[in-house]
Amino acid sequence: MLLAELLAERDDVDGLRSLADTGNREAARRLAKLLAERGDVDGLRAQAGGGDAEAAWWLAALLAEQGDLDGVTQILRARANVGDKYVAELAELLTKGEGFEALRARVDADYGDAARRLAGLLADRGDLDKPQILRIRADAGDEDAAGRLVELLAQGGDVEALRARADLGDGYATGLLAELLAERGDVEALRARADAGDWHAARRLAELLAGLGDLLALRDRADAGDRDAAWLLAELLAAEGDTVALRARVDAGDEDAAARLVELLVRQDRGDEAERLRRFGLNSDGSIACS
């Protein structure tokens, strides 16, 4: 009988730890399992902190059993950071909804009892589509998982988490964040993101300002070069029949305003003026040129 096996049968934690510290992998494996059976979170955490992968997996399973999904996520990320190939494989199976049975069938020979137990617990608890699990795969470059993650965050109204992903360069998160801010009517947050170069936020901000009828704010953004704001401003001025304001915008070089002004003049049965505007533009005083 192996010494590690003998010590495990005797529940000799100290003996197993001493043997494991010499590099005996069988002792480390049996020590981790014994600590898990005792529910010794601190003992497992100490072993895992020293680089023991077996202890880390048992600790993750134990925390999952206790409902500490955040703790599970931290452990899986730590293992991913040291190149544990099973983290990505496990997360992939979980995010695809395959769960415990698929894990047992596909990688039973590679995963230890701890990983299989973890997968089963997560599946039984219904945690497969929680943001923590999806985030693991998203951080590993899984675009499908990233998409599902940001949709879940948006559905939950988690602005801060969406902002964090958007700031990491996730374009889908950027778009959904802008939509969420617009739904909440958060003009200032949209303006801050738009001013930082977020075109999603700029578009939603222009739409929100137009919906509020805030012509002054739209004009400011249009004057700063925001094409969406300029287009919507011209639409609003045309809807109000404000030829004076449209002419001012045309004189400033606003092509959208010029098109809307022509349409407005036609609707007002001022087709001759509309044609002259098309052909000759405006005089310096804002009147329509004749030649």
DSSP string, 207-259: HHHHHHT-HHHHHHHHHTT-HHHHHHHHHHHHHTT-HHHHHHHHHTT-HHHHH
pLDDT of 197-238, one tens digit each? 999 999 999 999 999 999 999 989 988 889 899 889 888 888
Give the pLDDT score at 231.
Answer: 87
Q: Is the pLDDT higher at 66 or at 124?
A: 66
Average pLDDT, the chain: 79
Q: What is the mean pLDDT of residues 145-173?
A: 90
User: How far is Cα 198 from Cα 72, in angstroms, rounded to an integer?
Assistant: 34
Q: Where are the alpha helices (DSSP H) in 21-112?
A: 25-37, 41-49, 53-65, 69-81, 85-95, 99-107
Spell 104-131 as b/e; 16+ CB within 10 A means b: eeebeeebbebbbbbbbbbbeeebbebb
Partner residues linked to 282 by β-bridges = 288
What does each C-alpha distance from 168 to 84, 107, 139, 165 come to in angstroms? 24, 32, 10, 5
Query: What radius of gyration do the chain's Cα atoms show?
Result: 31
pLDDT of 56-103, one tens digit each? 888 888 888 887 877 887 887 788 778 777 776 666 665 555 545 555
Give the pLDDT score at 70.
Answer: 78
